Structure 1
Amino acid sequence: MIRYAVVGAGWITQEAFLPAVPQTGNSRVTAIVSGNLKGARRLAEFHQIEQVIDYRGFDDLLRSDSVDAVYIAVPNPMHADFAVRAARAGKHVMVEKPIATSIEQARTMIKAARGHGVMLMTSYRLHNDAATVNALTSLRSGKIGTPLFFSALFGFQSQIGNHRLKGEHWGGPLQDIGIYCINAARHVFEAEPVEVFAMSARPTDDPRFEEVDASVAVTMRFPEGRLAEFFCSFGAYDVDAYRIVGTHGELRVENGFRFESGTRVVLDTRSNVEHVSFERYDQFAGQIHYFSDCIINGTRPEPDGEEGLADLTVLLAIERSLQTGRPQKVRSSPRKRHPVSEMIRKIPTTNKRLLLS
């Protein structure tokens, strides 16, 4: 049984992580680390978690024998500090995406984990999702021929006051949800983009977007003449889908990124149209179970620190394109590992959760 400390007690911790852990069977939360002790104590009582600690007590917690791993879900600029401190204390680390806000930070996190013999995993829950892996497996089997083009839409109306709308948190739709589109395209083509170009939009009369863009549209060039594009927005109607066009067919994934509903995969070729529906499972429970398995078995997780670094490299290139108005080159080493069927986890969801206002 892997014992986790949760660092940060915001929405994603309340809605997804804490309810998921008891579903896994191989993990439990033994501590919440938060700047809001009142709220954290309510969560701890509800989920029967032994310890509540403020950020100042984090290092004392790491020195204790009450946790094996930490889940880091604080604002983006704080990821590296907590991850490095945990790794140096010999604790395994699961960190929310984006892994960090700079290449230097990400490399320091990777180095700390390697140097102290612990696992570092970037929180990519879709790598353990049956629908996602099914789509990738269909592409590898050549069902639509050679994949040539990837297109994705991911957007919704973000609520005013959300921390993801704060510039100081490196917020915005690109970092928060555009990263899903980047990650999907990279694994669809099993390659890294070599060039990106982006444009953004920010309304002048919407107080939500005083510090961040409302929408971002990106084009990415991959090796061998392959292209990808995506649109992400915090000010749009709910959209959540991607499609891949190949030389002999098309694959569409509907409800492809969010975790609140099931997913449908449509495989369309000249001779046949195949619809496969996947019921909703707890994607957070799946990734937690997978990471705990990796810790127990001493197996390096596929979405490791380098996976997070690969997406971060693309994110920063897109930001440079937005700032300069020009295409930007991307230089990353190809990844040798991708989501495979052995990583799939189908764990039921639960309705037991406490959401604090």
Structure 2
Amino acid sequence: MRSVFFTFLLMHIFGCIMAQPLRVAVAGVSHGHAAFILGRPDKGDIQIVGIYEPDTAVARLRARQYHLPQNIFYTNLDKMLDAVKPAAVLAFGSIKAHREVVEAAAPRGIHIMVEKPLATTVADAEYMESLARRHKVQLLTDYETSWYPSVAKTFQLLEDSSYAGKIRKVTVNDGHQGPKEIGCGPEFLNWLTDPVLNGGGALMDFGCYGANLMTALMKNRLPVSVTAVARHFKPQVYPKVEDDATILVDYGDVQCTIQASWNWSFSRKDMEVYGDKGYLIAADKNTLVQRNNERMPAVTRRITATDIPVYEDPFRYLIDVLNGKVNMPAYGLYAPANNVIVVRILAAARESVRTGKAVKF
């Protein structure tokens, strides 16, 4: 009887431990996407235990916006990590600041999730990936398109049934009217439109989506070359960085065209995949257009998370990765190996813009 009681007690204790929310810290809150975590409904699975923001004006702004207590804000990253000891840290500052976050968190055994892209330079990306590997922590990069049921269904159809046949061409279109035009705050615009802090303009901000998706489709295969052109249609609004870019990523037998812009008539994130048997078009988060028959018209389907397993909450994905419930493949959309290649493609695109020539890999 006693053994049964102790077994029950242990199971109860273990269950309580497993049910504890993931303790996370937030490193930087100047990114407009900080709302993803600060404004996330309380689901009982995540506890924000500390926020690092060196700009006290931005810290006060976020505290007011999201009704956060002042005592969880810090102006020193190392002191915050030592004080609150989170299991993971979420980076919502400039892209250049991602390296600082990984340098501070990885040696402390703290897992990291950064907003897209992983880094502004190849050197930073490779260093961050090596730090995470050395200290055996997870390093995830979050993209909105990773949450899309239409994208997940496209990948499934290509992988499981070869619906479109062998992939020949991919086109990815991402962007909106412009960050200033859609009302991004000055704390976000200050670094988003800086060639050092963001690594560029629209090319980095929206070119990374296509590079991420294509790298996953090609299972981390490196391209043969990257060619890019960039345009400055609104120099009076964005004097330091390009506001439009077209990137051609060539694999020899497959090519991907990435159209990234702060000049679209409306917000868009869509992907077209053309094979030798048909095509799949993820027109938006929940719309998939597909065709692989000459005699049959294209079919438009509404795809939801009930149709295809997909994490529509990136923080739930992070929790399940850390709990061992998800095996993140090396070519996965969040994975560091994928995202180092993404940074290599973006760096090659910037070099192609600079020289006017294709950059060979």
Q: What is the CA distance between 1:171 and its match in structure 2?
A: 3.2
Q: Structure 1 counterpart of 2:354, which letter?
A: Q
Deviates more, 1:267-276 or 1:304-313: 267-276
2:303 to 278, 281, 294: 278
Partner of 1:138: 157
For these two proteins, the number of residue pairs brought into alignment is 319
Question: For 1:171-190, what per-residue CA distance to the aligned partner results, in whole angstroms no more than 9, with x for missing partners?
Answer: 31111111101112222343
Q: What is the CA distance between 1:103 and its match in structure 2?
A: 2.1
Structure 2 length normalisation: TM-score?
A: 0.80
Partner of 1:335: none
SS in 2 for 1:232: strand
Partner of 1:355: none
Q: In 2 relative to 1, CA 294–254 (structure 1 residues): closer, same or farther, beyond 3 Å?
A: same
Q: Contact 2:231–2:245 at 8 Å: present in 1 too?
A: yes
Question: For 1:292-340, what per-residue CA distance to the aligned partner results, in whole angstroms no more than 9, with x for missing partners?
Answer: 111122866442322221100111111111111111112xxxxxxxxxx
Partner of 1:353: none
Q: Structure 2 counterpart of 1:188, which letter?
A: L
Q: Contact 1:31–1:49 at 8 Å: present in 2 too?
A: no
Q: Structure 2 counterpart of 1:15, which letter?
A: A
Q: What is the CA distance between 1:65 and its match in structure 2?
A: 4.4
Partner of 1:75: 94
Q: Work out which structure has the larger RCO, using CA pairs closer than 8 Å and 6 or more positions apart in sequence.
A: 1
Partner of 1:348: none
Question: For 1:158-206, what per-residue CA distance to the aligned partner results, in whole angstroms no more than 9, with x for missing partners?
Answer: 1445232222322311111111011122223433322111111113x63
Structure 1 length normalisation: TM-score?
A: 0.81
Q: What is the CA distance between 1:111 and its match in structure 2?
A: 2.2
Partner of 1:195: 225
Q: In 2 relative to 1, CA 91–32 (structure 1 residues): closer, same or farther, beyond 3 Å?
A: same
CA distance in structure 2 between the aligned counterparts of 1:166 and 1:41, rounded to whole angstroms:
23
Deviates more, 1:307-316 or 1:127-136: 127-136
Question: For 1:253-299, what per-residue CA distance to the aligned partner results, in whole angstroms no more than 9, with x for missing partners?
Answer: 112xxxxxx42011112244332213599x99621111111112286
CA distance in structure 2 between the aligned counterparts of 1:38 and 1:210, rounded to whole angstroms:
25
Partner of 1:263: 286
Q: Structure 2 counterpart of 1:323, which letter?
A: R
Partner of 1:316: 347
1:31 aligns with 2:60: no
Q: In 2 relative to 1, CA 278–123 (structure 1 residues): closer, same or farther, beyond 3 Å?
A: same
Q: What is the CA distance between 1:118 and its match in structure 2?
A: 1.6
Q: Structure 2 counterpart of 1:311, which letter?
A: V
Partner of 1:349: none
Question: For 1:100-152, what per-residue CA distance to the aligned partner results, in whole angstroms no more than 9, with x for missing partners?
Answer: 12222222212222222221111234334322111111112111121111112
2:133 to 114, 128, 152: 114
SS in 2 for 1:196: strand
Q: In 2 relative to 1, CA 320–80 (structure 1 residues): closer, same or farther, beyond 3 Å?
A: same
Partner of 1:326: 357
Q: What is the CA distance between 1:59 and its match in structure 2?
A: 0.8
Deviates more, 1:177-186 or 1:42-51: 42-51
For residues 1-357 of structure 1, the aligned pairs below 5 Å read 1-20=21-40, 22-23=42-43, 25-41=44-60, 43-44=62-63, 46=66, 48=68, 51-56=71-76, 58-140=77-159, 141-160=161-180, 162=189, 163-169=191-197, 170-190=199-219, 191-203=221-233, 206-223=235-252, 225-238=253-266, 239-255=268-284, 262-270=285-293, 271-272=295-296, 273-279=298-304, 286-297=313-324, 301-302=328-329, 303-330=334-361
The percent identity for this pair of structures is: 21
Q: Contact 1:92–1:120 at 8 Å: present in 2 too?
A: yes
Q: Structure 2 counterpart of 1:309, which letter?
A: V
Q: Structure 2 counterpart of 1:147, which letter?
A: I
Deviates more, 1:307-316 or 1:113-122: 113-122
CA distance in structure 2 between the aligned counterparts of 1:285 and 1:18, rounded to whole angstroms:
17
Q: Structure 1 counterpart of 2:96, which letter?
A: P
Q: In 2 relative to 1, CA 125–222 (structure 1 residues): closer, same or farther, beyond 3 Å?
A: same
Q: What is the CA distance between 1:78 and its match in structure 2?
A: 1.2
CA distance in structure 2 between the aligned counterparts of 1:3 and 1:125, rounded to whole angstroms:
23
Unaligned runs of 5+ in 2: 1-20, 181-185
Q: What is the CA distance between 1:153 and its match in structure 2?
A: 1.9
CA distance in structure 1 between the aligned counterparts of 2:122 and 2:108, rounded to whole angstroms:
22
Deviates more, 1:101-110 or 1:293-302: 293-302
Q: Structure 2 counterpart of 1:266, which letter?
A: V
Q: In 2 relative to 1, CA 176–36 (structure 1 residues): closer, same or farther, beyond 3 Å?
A: same
Q: Structure 2 counterpart of 1:52, which letter?
A: I
CA distance in structure 1 between the aligned counterparts of 2:140 and 2:103, rounded to whole angstroms:
13
SS in 1 for 2:109: coil
Q: Contact 1:16–1:284 at 8 Å: present in 2 too?
A: no
